[in-house]
Structure 1
Amino acid sequence: MTTYSTYRPSAAPGRPQTPPSETPEVDLLRWPDVARVPGGPVRAAVAGRLLRSVARRLGLRVELPGGRLLVPAPEQAPTLRLHRPRDFHRRIGADGLIGFGESYQAGDWDSPDLVALLTALAASPGTLVPPRLQGLRRWHAQRPPLAELGTQANTRRNIQRHYDLSNDLFALFLDPTMTYSAALFPPGGDGAAEPARAGWDDLVPAQHRKIDRLLDLAGVGPGSRVLEIGTGWGELALRAAGRGADVVTLTLSEEQRRLAERRIAEAGHARRVDVRLCDYRTAQGSYDAVVSVEMIEAVGRAYWPAYFATLDRVLAPGGRAALQAITMPHERMLASSGTYTWILKYIFPGGQIPSVEGLAQAAAGHTGLRLTHRDAFGPHYAQTLRLWRERFTERADEVAALGFDHVFHRMWELYLAYSEAGFRTGYLDVQHLLFTREERPR
């Protein structure tokens, strides 16, 4: 099936329109599965009954056209506002949670507080489908396309579909460091685990705090030989070079490489940093430290052994590998592994959110590396995503001026809100993980 998770913007920009009931027609060539409403009245009827059950169980307010309520609910409850119930039910009935996402892209539903609604749904993802229907999921759930599996042949295309969208697009909602990963904010008062509520101006120092903690974990200092797997737009390499390290950094995104090289040259570190367009499996050299920020999620579970084998191969004796990884509970990871989701179809093809246990097992089972330290800071990612989402929403006109249509805008709006909800509930976490080689007896 052809999908268009990251189309090339057209020359003619189109401003995202609200409310969604008034959205312009969806482009069939760019968004075939959003433009078409599937058939299947029986499945749609089942989806309607399921929605009623979920709304009642979770206390959701489901508003139908004309202001009617699906089930009684208070005004302050998380709200799902249906504009086209028939289309919504047909999409859910045909494609489950993928249909839920496509229905939002199409404008079939909306919410006055999207994060609150998604947080309510994410709080108990394993119970949305009643137990008597759980056994049918394996017949209903889609499998990832072979063309999106994390093979060396596919990975560059998967990465380019997200990161080669447009440097200008990412610059609209990222802070000036162009860091596209969780920041680390100061702690809240009175020893609270939650970070203090942050504003936009807090994001740059929070990103530097995160990067510096990871570099400290890896032992990066003057003269260190560093391999970075996943360049981003170069900020970590810049911070490492600023410590006097020599850095080789790998990316599969031509757009990222171009901007990272420019930023590195402008900072005067071109002689210390080598940006290579290279798959992690073909990395060469010997390094005192390997660092990687939120890249393991793109590898795919079947390829974790190859990933850790690469780390083991390039680490010099006594070397340290420090990763920043988005994680989920191990049982949820096992349950979702191999299932095609809306995020995989439209945002991150070929990916898999790992569990800490899964990564530790992959390293220990195929290499001499062992997980020796971990720090979790999931609530900080919720803060980071909130700031990105607010910025993205505020700059909707500029997104449209780049040529991205209303379907793309709603897709990214849902992606950022969905991710924020995952971290708010603890369904997702983000961790700093240190792997060191097990010392063998002489």
Structure 2
Amino acid sequence: MTTTHPPRTGGGEPRPLRTPSESVRLPASDRFAAESRAPAVDPDRWPDVAHVPGDRLRGRVARQLARHAFARAPIRVTTPEGPLPSAGGPEAPLLELHRPADFYRRLAAGGLIGFGESRMAGDWSAPEPVRLLTALAECYDDLIPRPLQPLRHVTLPRRPRRLRNTRSGARRNIAHHYDLSNDLFALFLDETMTYSAGLFEGRTGGGQAELADAQRRKTDRLLDLVGVGENTRVLEIGTGWGETAVRAARRGARVTSVTLSREQRDLARLRAQEAGVAERTDIRLADYREVTGRYDAVISVEMVEAVGERYWPVYFTALDRLTAPGGRIGLQSITMDHATMRASRGSHTWMHKYIFPGGLIPSVEAIEEQLRLRTALRITDRRALGGDYAETLRIWRETFDAAHEQVAALGFDAVFRAMWSFYLAYCEAGFRSGTIDVEQIVMERD
């Protein structure tokens, strides 16, 4: 296994390199809980997690705003000094503030970025993080005093220019996430190594085997919708770890698949070889902007979110250019409400800083606008899968949390493990609350 890591970017950005796992040995469940509350923070790797902002005045203001929110949220809040007034009953999800002063000061300095960093630092925890985050998301508009609500998006940090998805920037942004380690992803993904929403068709409540079936069902549905069969010329933008390319090639298609992740390319090529379809697949390390030719079917699963608004015209123009007349495109994309997208599109969030640099979740309206203005493509089929993504994320999160010792053995430290668990819970809550959705969208070229 080879592993590449993002370079240190400065400006307080993280550098999640590997370190030896901690030497203190506790029972597994106790050790995971202890890590969650007080992880050892390397200040070189996690500068903004190790450093607690020092502005006490702003911290006191944040304390008042947070307590205003707690009093209206359907949650319970405890501190070392006792419970705080909140709107939740005895069965409401619990927020445990272990270091309230640090929590408030991080909120004051970074807003929701500070909220996530506070979780990474162990300032707070939750026995049921998804329930907690879902409850907060569902009442988000009521948490801020009404006179201050118009200032929410104005005061959010702006996205750094270095995160733009130029050709070099896109490679760097993709490497930040996808080139962490194939072994890391293998610990929580199912056997298909598919990192996108499955299609459960109501078969929920199971585990990895059920998820693998859901992923195959999702992929086969998309291949059916774009008419992949014998000798179909298929282009895949965003390879993942090769499941879609292999399943298309098994149908007799000739598949070209492009990715910016070396780790994904190498494993996808190996999987195609093991499946006996290597001669029907061409898996390349390439930017979608570099692809030429015409294809009967173009498939892009949860890749458009990483393109960035500035490059949507280039991306959708490329889809149009690369699709043969009469051809079809199968696009699976996470989506959000159009007004929310417009209000937050320039903001720098915790997700940008630590998980997916440079991306923006589009709205369906934004996709339709790009098609109308720049292409000869039209939407012919749509299906929302938000509930299926919530179930997918539940299985990923539970599997990841159960594998914390194996993640540590790979060299990822306690802050990374807290960050990744929070990321999975945060996304699951987004789908459960309806804040975000995911759709399979089929387009045809007139």
TM-score normalised by the chain length of structure 2: 0.93
Counterpart of 2:393 in structure 1 is 385
Greater displacement, 15-24 / 342-351: 15-24
Which digits, 9 at most, give the CA deviation of each residue in 1:341-385, with x for residues without a partner? 000110000010111111110121111112222110110000000
Counterpart of 2:110 in structure 1 is 95
| Structural RMSD (CA) | 1.6
Within-5 A mapping of 1:166-177: 166-177=181-192
Q: Is the 8 A contact 2:308 2:360 kept in 1?
A: yes
Q: Distance in 2 between matches of 1:74 and 1:186?
A: 34
Counterpart of 1:290 in structure 2 is 298
Q: Aligned with 1:430: secondary structure?
A: strand
Counterpart of 2:161 in structure 1 is 146
Q: Distance in 1 between matches of 2:143 and 2:15?
A: 29
Q: Aligned with 2:53: secondary structure?
A: coil
Select 1:128's aligned residue among 124, 143, 146: 143
Q: Rate the CA distance shift 1:382–1:22 in 2: closer, same or farther, 3 A.
A: closer
Select 2:46's aligned residue among 22, 31, 50: 31
Select 2:330's aligned residue among 302, 305, 322: 322
Q: Aligned with 2:72: secondary structure?
A: helix
Counterpart of 2:201 in structure 1 is 186
Counterpart of 1:58 in structure 2 is 73
Letter in 2 for 1:136: L
Counterpart of 1:313 in structure 2 is 321
Number of equivalences: 430
Q: Distance in 2 between matches of 1:260 and 1:157?
A: 20
**Sequence identity, in percent?**
55
Q: Distance in 2 between matches of 1:6 and 1:274?
A: 33
Q: Rate the CA distance shift 1:27–1:380 in 2: closer, same or farther, 3 A.
A: same
1:17, distance to aligned residue in structure 2 (A): 4.6
Select 1:411's aligned residue among 406, 419, 428: 419
1:22, distance to aligned residue in structure 2 (A): 5.6
Q: Distance in 1 between matches of 2:105 and 2:432?
A: 30
Select 2:262's aligned residue among 241, 254, 260: 254
Q: Distance in 1 between matches of 2:376 and 2:145?
A: 43
Select 1:340's aligned residue among 348, 351, 366: 348
Q: Is the 8 A contact 1:14 1:404 kept in 2?
A: no
Which digits, 9 at most, give the CA deviation of each residue in 1:257-297, with x for residues without a partner? 11111111011111000011001111111100100110000
Letter in 2 for 1:7: P
TM-score normalised by the chain length of structure 1: 0.94
Letter in 2 for 1:9: R
Q: Is the 8 A contact 1:6 1:165 kept in 2?
A: no
Q: Distance in 2 between matches of 1:13 and 1:171?
A: 19
Q: Rate the CA distance shift 1:6–1:205 in 2: closer, same or farther, 3 A.
A: farther
Q: Distance in 2 between matches of 1:105 and 1:419?
A: 16
Select 1:229's aligned residue among 206, 231, 237: 237
Q: Rate the CA distance shift 1:406–1:372 in 2: closer, same or farther, 3 A.
A: same
Letter in 1 for 2:338: H
Select 1:157's aligned residue among 155, 159, 172: 172
Select 1:354's aligned residue among 353, 362, 366: 362
1:140, distance to aligned residue in structure 2 (A): 2.3
Q: Aligned with 2:235: secondary structure?
A: strand
Q: Distance in 2 between matches of 1:21 and 1:216?
A: 44
Counterpart of 2:3 in structure 1 is none
Letter in 2 for 1:354: P
Counterpart of 1:191 in structure 2 is none
Letter in 2 for 1:297: E
1:68, distance to aligned residue in structure 2 (A): 3.1
Counterpart of 1:192 in structure 2 is none
1:215, distance to aligned residue in structure 2 (A): 0.7
Letter in 1 for 2:157: Q
Counterpart of 1:436 in structure 2 is 444
- 1:108 paired with 2:116, answer no
Within-5 A mapping of 1:370-381: 370-381=378-389
Q: Is the 8 A contact 1:172 1:395 kept in 2?
A: yes
1:169, distance to aligned residue in structure 2 (A): 0.2
Q: Is the 8 A contact 2:32 2:404 kept in 1?
A: no
Q: Rate the CA distance shift 1:53–1:251 in 2: closer, same or farther, 3 A.
A: same
Select 2:289's aligned residue among 277, 281, 288: 281
Greater displacement, 68-77 / 379-388: 68-77
Q: Distance in 1 between matches of 2:14 and 2:327?
A: 38
Q: Aligned with 1:62: secondary structure?
A: strand
Counterpart of 2:27 in structure 1 is none
Q: Distance in 1 between matches of 2:325 and 2:159?
A: 38
Q: Distance in 2 between matches of 1:344 and 1:244?
A: 39
1:58, distance to aligned residue in structure 2 (A): 1.6
1:198, distance to aligned residue in structure 2 (A): 2.9
Q: Rate the CA distance shift 1:370–1:73 in 2: closer, same or farther, 3 A.
A: closer
Q: Aligned with 2:33: secondary structure?
A: coil
Q: Distance in 1 between matches of 2:163 and 2:283?
A: 25
Greater displacement, 135-144 / 65-74: 65-74
Q: Is the 8 A contact 2:390 2:429 kept in 1?
A: yes
Q: Aligned with 2:105: secondary structure?
A: helix
Letter in 1 for 2:324: A
Q: Rate the CA distance shift 1:141–1:248 in 2: closer, same or farther, 3 A.
A: same
1:20, distance to aligned residue in structure 2 (A): 5.2
1:151, distance to aligned residue in structure 2 (A): 1.6
Q: Aligned with 1:98: secondary structure?
A: helix
1:75, distance to aligned residue in structure 2 (A): 2.6
Counterpart of 1:267 in structure 2 is 275
Counterpart of 2:18 in structure 1 is 9
Which digits, 9 at most, give the CA deviation of each residue in 1:143-187, with x for residues without a partner? 111111122220000000000000000000000110000000122
Q: Aligned with 1:228: secondary structure?
A: strand
Q: Distance in 1 between matches of 2:386 and 2:279?
A: 36
